[in-house]
Structure 1
Amino acid sequence: MKARGILALLLLAQTLTAQDTIRFDKALAVQSGSRYGREAIYTDLLSYQLFNGQLQPGAGNLFDKTGNGDSIIWRPVTADESGRFRVFSRRNFQRSNNPFLNPGAVDRGADYLYITYDAPRQQAVLLRIQGSAGLYINGAPHMGDPYSAGYMHIPVLLKKGLNEIYIRGANVLPELIPVHQAFHLHTDDITAPHIVLNKNNSRLKVALVVSNASAGAAADLSVTATIQGKALTSAVAAIPGLATRKIFFEVDGSAINQKGKYDCKLVLKQGNQTVHSASITLEAVLPGEHYSATFVSGIDGSLQYYAVTPQVQGNKESQALFLSVHGAGVEAIGQARAYQPKDWGNLVAATNRRPRGFNWEDWGRLDAMEVLQITKDNFKPDPSRIYLTGHSMGGHGTWFLGATYPDKWAAIGPAAGYASLKDYGSADGRIPDSARSEVERLLLRSGNQSDVPKLAANYQPLGVYILHGDSDRVVPVTYARQMREVLAGFHKDFSYYEYPGGEHWFGDQSVDWPPMFDYFKWHRRLPDSLTNTIDFTTSSPGISASYRWATIYQQLHPLQYSRIQLRRNRPAAIISGNTQNVALLKLSLDDFQPGTTINIRLDSTPTLSYTTLSFDDRLYLSKTHSGWAFTKPPAAAGKNPLRYGTFKEAFNKRMVFVVGTRGTAAETQANRDKAIYDAESWYYRGNGAVDIVNDTEYKPARYAGRNIIIYGNADNNSAWKILLSESPLQVKRNQLSTGDKKWTGDNLATYFVWPQKDTALLVGVIAGTGVKGMKAAYANQYFAGGSGFPDFMIFSDQMLKDGAAGVKLAGFFDNSWRLSKEEMAGAAD
């Protein structure tokens, strides 16, 4: 057995007056060795013990034993004057008289904090715990505030008597804030645009968080915003009971005609009754100054923003466009302000949805692409002069987006960046780069898109300018040198500069580096009609499928690397080349005249001939045992670039959380707790918002055009029969089956994705065979940037103790959404 550690704190509340924030000063602490990161598998012995009624915190009590037989026991700790518990990180290994282990044991640091509060009565409070990665209160999971942002307010209903809170974290400030009214407009996390003078400011969109501390869901809500005498009322989204949601509304800023800051009064109503009011500040800027603009995201219908460094003397069409991606902890508007305006184009900074967000992968990637499309539509740049750059985490974003979408850019400029989360990691840790079993190998394959050096050949048509300070201690210059060496093996047009003495940030020139922008000026993106050579690699058509006139439509083996190397000779009407791991290839023949007979030879197989019928012919070729063959356009129901999987893809396209309520009270509570926790995590990590409905409210027509996330199983979620009756994975009370395999017990769980009958949409499933199984699925590492999840994963609560050994089966569906033994792996029973 491996050595385990945990930090749990038994915190005795300071008894304050009813109006005061409740803080804590004493605690118990213990080590668990919990492991969460950028992978599907997580381990957490404290959670396992909590779910199974085995947890017994108490001074001197035994929690577990290390592999060496040393006892891990609970110990008291004390908060500082501010109420913050500061305990050493588990990155600090030491052997000494540490307070968490018996003498002689290895210290792996603190993982959890445990608080109790003896409530004199049942009461609603807002729980705010800065520094926590996650927590349980009376057994229910909630999102923490790992970056100590301070705006995570969780409405909870305390029971009379003892209330227990387990906090995962080593440097936390826990607080309980008594609630005196059901609804509250929180003004500490606002998404707002600037009021740009001389523009149409009559319907500006602004977002903030509303908490609902009542037990029932709140509908019929509206916000009236008044600024400079102009009032505008907006209906806003429903908010579940004992939950929060970031809602957006409109503001009429048309009366503002001078630069400055202006108060905007907000009134929240339910029906005709005012339930809360607040005031926020909006800022007006002059034309030509840096500004923020908001937009409604197609990912989830939430309000997001991007920032702009406008072109000198105003926008002119057919100029350059620079997309800049920021570093960890940096706001997009701060990123934009680091650049001086250019006289040859606009610069826009996307948000990654949060200053840390998703490391520009997953939904951070989608955010960048949304902003790119919006600003292309707004500014109408020259398509041959679109450039990508970024700093630190944004340097990684530049490497990643440049390799993932190589046909979007004329040149890229990573600054102080690292190429891969396998090499660097950051807050959520690194993506693992090795596996000990077939299950682990399959799960790691789900994250292949993040291994940027494997995609490096995609940089061949791009200009690449690498900038890095040679004294950078945050992202050492070795990461830049790594990519210089990779590019040197094949790239004929890249530039490399190490800034002498430059640390991670050496002023605005860390991003606004004149030689880089001069380098950009020399580069143009060729149109498709002049691009006759393709060398393109992807790990997933669902992330990146196309380069110019060729599309990897389906793979032979999902999420293994696919590569096409094609050459087009237009005068001779020949297309030839090689493919790897491609099952279905789509060729666009726009650049050939109608009536042209094209000879196609792939992988040294027999030549195929096709005569074009129009200027927009699309040709589909399938890989067979005897070679390539023409085929009809594939059925839309199959896997395709618009709906390819994996499980994480289900959280795109304005997903709706559907909570099963047809089971026992405990099952319903576990389903709801998980959905609320996921919604909180989505908000915190992605500045997002999501609709949560009971299964009894779900009607396909009501939620047409949207992905659905099911919480529960076939016995307790009535939407299962509507959406999942044809799925080969079936989950019932005490039973889970797939194909010819069946498992029994109440402690089994699964995550999987399944196509809706609407051929553009998906169903994501989070299911358990019982309360224990649902609780085993509580963790949501699928929201960690770059983490890999396959199409399906079946596991028991033993995974919390034993890692991969607790995974029963994981794998990918084939291109027709059928089970394939070749594409799955499982632990031995």
Structure 2
Amino acid sequence: MIRSAWSVLLLLSIASAGLAQDPIPPIKRLLPPPGIEIGGKVKKELTTRLKQLQQKLAAIESNPLAVDAEIYLKAVSLALRNGEFYKPKDVDVARAALDKAQQRIEQIEAGKADWPKAGGLLVRGYRSPIDDSVQPYGLHIPAKLDRSNPVPLYVWLHGRGDKETDLYFLANREKSKGYVAPDDAITLHPFGRQCIGFKSAGEIDVLDAIEDVKRRYSIDADRIVLMGFSMGGAGAWHLGAHYADDWVAISPGAGFAETARYQNLKPTNYPPSYTQTLWGCYDVPDYVRNLLNQPVIAYSGEIDKQIQAARVMEEAYAAEGKKLLHLIGPKTAHKYEPETLKTLLGQIKEFRDAGLNRTPSEVSLQTRTLRYPRMHWVEALRLDEHWRDSRIDAKVAWPDSVTISTKNIAALALHLQKIPAGFVVDIDGEKLKVEDAPADDAPLTLVKSDGKWSLGPVADDAALAKQTGLQGPIDDVFLEPFLVVVPREKSTNAKLQQWLEFEIAHFDDRWQALFRGKPRWKYEDQITPADIAKYHLIAWGTPSTNQVIRDSLAKLPLTWNADEVKIAGQSFSAKTHVPLMIFPNPQNPQKYLVLNSGPTFRELDDSSNSRQNPQLPDWAVIDITTPPDGKTPGKVAAADFFDEAWQAKPAVSAK
């Protein structure tokens, strides 16, 4: 294991730092909100039993079914750690979770686990590769469902529940089918890491839960429906648009589809320009052409304020010359109107039964980042510039040709099988002929140079370039497996040391409370070549205290010594400034190195899921004379994106 009593050590360290510095005020947690005190006797009872069951679980942890017991123990553990009891009877919910964990452990020990073949309502779990945490999901499996052949899967995304932590999610999924529970399909309820709008690690949770269900049950991958309501409707808009080719049909209900209009922001109170740019990570109108590939049916209550999301998307569709299918429940507020829901499900079933066409003759891809690079058989490999509207529209005429138009695309791949010699690619008005047919499993790649397209591979992969999974911003690291690297030594700068200890503890606490996991971490002198090969690294400290930073500094676009922090032509005092950054790890350029940052959206952004977006770009310099708070880790002195070759651009002063 690469975790230990680090949190305790941090608390002791922070306490000692406070002797020399005025303490940094604590940041009030919004999600999940603090609960009630449950009393020492009850807490001891739950803690004692939890530890006993954790010991029993350790003896069977190699069994693949153990995760289905561990989800209950994790739920109780986090409830105790974070104070997630909201009424006295919640203690009984925790006791019931421990009972269920014990039952499953005993069945595993006896080799008689019954739930894997059970129908009805049940909860299961998987281990997330992001942080090794177990994440739960709920299932509804109709008792009379014929599972002799692959069955359709409905993915239902839940609404916002500030107090609906693991403990309550598990309990609710064991007693409620929810709005959607067709009798001829399995329904999956992803947890989405509770309340982060199915973004960041929450969106990966949905995808990972689907894969786990497909592994455990016979699912027809061409008949997977995506639906959700309220926050889940926003999630359906987001996952529908960013991963459109995963779904046979998409139906968002209520929710939100973007940030500025939903928040009623005016230019006078917009955030910094880089944060506005980062709205392009999740704002669905920026990805609307992806939705043209699949059937989409929006639902709204007629008098629901969240009808705004579908109205925004109606405009986005209209701008592309299309019309959004939008069903409206008459005289209905924030819920489904029964007859309209019946009509909606009937239409969804028609699309579902037709099945997903994985090789359509026409495909549209729209993105602003290579985090979301592909739609069916077209893939963006390089962009002219990140965070600009980027498009590929392609139409194939077998067996002769394909016609492509692009915008802001520097390289792309066509994943078309059996392209014959003589095949013509008409791209942006240029005609290219395929002389040698690629192998069946090899894509056809096209590269643009000086405005001209050619057939052939992209530039040498050894050269630094923004590419899929290596394109930033800072928050991108939290969608894939990461390892936190902390220093043993303290900085001689007491103010800087205090900031580091506060922010490391804040990150650790926030990940456990909000992201429902626990970061894996090591000290900087424990890092192995295997760690560097496997993980993105998040290194905290300075060049003098953290060997990972010290060994990488010469290859970073950053000067950092005891006196100066210098980046993009700007210089700052190292006594009062700290750099935050994401960059290809010089020790393994296929992984990230992040300096001194957790997720960049903070507690104040938790007030609305529409605000839980990346708040800082690829790099920032923080003035630590302003203490961290629920908005920023300090005063942002400068921040910007790197260019497509990961080079610093002239800095934009943060105002």
- Equivalent of 1:664 in 486, 489, 492: 492
Contact map agreement 1:351 1:367 (CA 8 A) in 2: yes
Q: Please tell me whether residue 345 in structure 1 is matched to residue 167 in structure 2.
A: no
Cα root mean square deviation, aligned? 4.3
Name the counterpart of 1:826: 653
CA–CA separation in structure 1 for the residues paired with 2:601 and 2:451: 47
Shift of 1:576: 1.8
Q: 1:146 maps to which residue?
A: 30
Pair 1:302-2:129 in alignment: no
Would you say 1:383 and 2:221 are equivalent positions?
Answer: yes
Instruction: Name the CA distance, whole Å, in 2 between partners of 1:805 and 1:203.
Output: 39
Aligned to 2:94: none
CA shift in 2, pair 1:444/1:525, >3 Å: farther
Whether 2:614 is the aligned partner of 1:787: answer yes
Structure 2 runs not aligned, ≥5 long: 1-10, 13-20, 58-62, 83-96
2:262–2:308 contact (8 Å) kept in structure 1: no
Over 3 Å counting, the alpha-carbon distance change for 1:228 and 1:658 in structure 2 is: closer
CA contact (8 A) 2:493 2:575 kept: no
Is residue 697 from structure 1 mapped to residue 526 from structure 2 by the alignment?
A: yes
Q: Post-superposition shift, 1:778?
A: 12
Contact 1:308 1:349 in 2 (8 A): yes
Change (3 A) 1:610 1:436: farther
Q: Which residue identity does 1:605 align to in structure 2?
A: E
How big is each residue's C-alpha offset from its partner over 1:581-616, in whole Å with a ceiling of 9 and x where there is no partner? 111212223143xx4322112222353544313212
Q: Is the 8 A contact 2:402 2:424 kept in 1?
A: yes
Q: Does 1:563 align with 2:391?
A: yes
Equivalences for residues 10-25 of structure 1 within 5 A = none
- Higher fraction of helix: 2
Distance 1:422 1:588 in 2: 36
| 1-structure distance, mates of 2:319, 2:602 | 42
Q: How does 1:488-637 map to 2 (within 5 A)?
A: 494-505=324-335, 509=338, 513-523=341-351, 524-529=354-359, 531-542=360-371, 544-572=372-400, 574-592=401-419, 595-637=420-462
Identify the residue that residue 555 of structure 2 maps to in structure 1: 726
Structure 1 Cα separation of the partners of residues 48 and 408 of structure 2 = 52
Shift of 1:186: 9.4
1:403 aligned to which of 233, 241, 249: 241
Q: Which residue of 418, 424, 427 corresponds with 2:262? A: 424
What is the letter of the counterpart of residue 388 of structure 2? Q
Deviations 1:239-270 (A, max 9, x none): xxxxxxxxxxx6655659899xxxxxxxxxxx
Partner SS for 1:589: coil
| Structure 2 residue 199 is the aligned partner of structure 1 residue 374 | no
**Structure 1 residues 128-176: Cα deviation after superposition (integer angstroms, max 9, x where no partner):** xxxxxxxxx972565644246446xxxxxxxxxxxxxxxxxxxxx8999
How far, CA to CA, are the matches of 2:268 and 2:545 in structure 1?
36
Deviation readout 1:474-503 (Å, 9 max, x if unpaired): x44343334345435657675332222322
- Other-structure match for 1:707: 536
Query: Structure 1's 202 and 652: CA in aligned 2 closer, same or farther, altered over 3 A?
Result: closer
User: Which position in structure 2 is the counterpart of 1:646?
Assistant: 473
1:549-568 deviation digits (Å, cap 9, x = unpaired): 11111211112221111121
Does 1 or 2 have the higher relative contact order (CA < 8 Å, sep 6+)?
Answer: 2
Distance (whole Å) between structure 2 residues aligned to residue 748 and residue 409 of structure 1: 46
Q: Counterpart amino acid of 1:561?
A: D
Alignment gaps of 5+ in structure 1: 1-122, 125-136, 152-172, 194-198, 214-224, 233-249, 260-283, 768-773
Matched, 1:764 2:594: yes
CA distance in 1, matches of 2:41, 2:66: 38
For 2:328, the aligned partner's letter is E
The structural deviation recorded for 1:634 is 4.1
Q: Cα deviation per residue 1:186-226 (whole Å; 9 max; x = unaligned)? A: 979x99x9xxxxx996764414338899xxxxxxxxxxx99
| Match among 292, 295, 298 for residue 460 of structure 1 | 292
**Secondary structure, counterpart of 1:463 in structure 2:** coil
Instruction: Indicate if the aligned counterparts of 1:805 and 1:827 stay in contact, CA closer than 8 A.
Output: no
Letter in 2 for 1:310: I
Report what 1:236 is aligned to: none
Amino acid in the other structure paired with 1:146: L
Q: Secondary structure at the match of 1:649?
A: helix
Distance 2:526 2:457 in 1: 40
Q: Which amino acid aligns with 2:410?
A: A
TM-score, normalised on structure 2?
Answer: 0.78
CA shift in 2, pair 1:623/1:322, >3 Å = same
- How far residue 184 of structure 1 moved from its aligned partner, in angstroms, is 5.3
Question: Could you report, residue by residue, the CA deviation over 1:626-647 in whole angstroms, capped at 9, with x for unpaired residues?
Answer: 4112342444443221222111
Q: State how far apart, in whole Å, the 2-side matches of 1:535 and 1:634 are.
A: 25
CA contact (8 A) 2:199 2:235 kept: yes
Deviations 1:408-456 (A, max 9, x none): 112111112222233335xxxx8x674789x922332123122212222
Question: In the alignment, which residue of structure 1 is the partner of 2:18?
Answer: none
Contact 2:69 2:101 in 1 (8 A): no
Q: Give the direction of change, closer, same or farther, for the CA distance of 1:758–1:177 in structure 2 (3 Å limit).
A: farther
Matched, 1:676 2:505: yes
TM norm structure 1: 0.63
Contact 1:204/1:253 (8 A) holds in 2: no
Q: Is the 8 A contact 1:201 1:252 kept in 2?
A: no
Take 1:402 and 1:457, find their aligned partners in 2: how far apart are those partners?
Answer: 11
Query: CA offsets, 1:307-365, max 9 Å, x none?
Result: 111144243433211111111005655476214642321110111201x2x11122221
Question: Whose radius of gyration is greater, 1 or 2?
Answer: 1
- CA distance in structure 2 between the partners assigned to 1:566 and 1:654 by the alignment: 34
SS at match of 2:149: coil
Asked whether the equivalents of residues 141 and 677 of structure 1 are also in contact (C-alpha less than 8 Å), the reply is no
Report SS of the residue matched to 1:597: coil
Q: Is the 8 A contact 1:464 1:493 kept in 2?
A: no
Counterpart check, 1:321 vs 2:153:
yes
Q: Deviations over 1:29-83 (max 9, x none)?
A: xxxxxxxxxxxxxxxxxxxxxxxxxxxxxxxxxxxxxxxxxxxxxxxxxxxxxxx
Matched AA of 2:231: M
Look up the SS of the partner of 1:407 in the other structure.
helix
TM-superposed deviation, 1:648: 0.7
What CA distance in whole angstroms lies between the structure 2 residues aligned with 1:716 and 1:201? 42
Name whichever structure is richer in strand by fraction: 1
**What is residue 92 of structure 2 aligned with on the other side?**
none
Change (3 A) 1:712 1:200: closer
Which residue of structure 2 lines up, in the alignment, with residue 392 of structure 1? Answer: 230
Aligned partners of 2:43, 2:244: CA distance in 1, in Å? 54
8 Å Cα contact 2:373/2:468 also seen in 1: yes
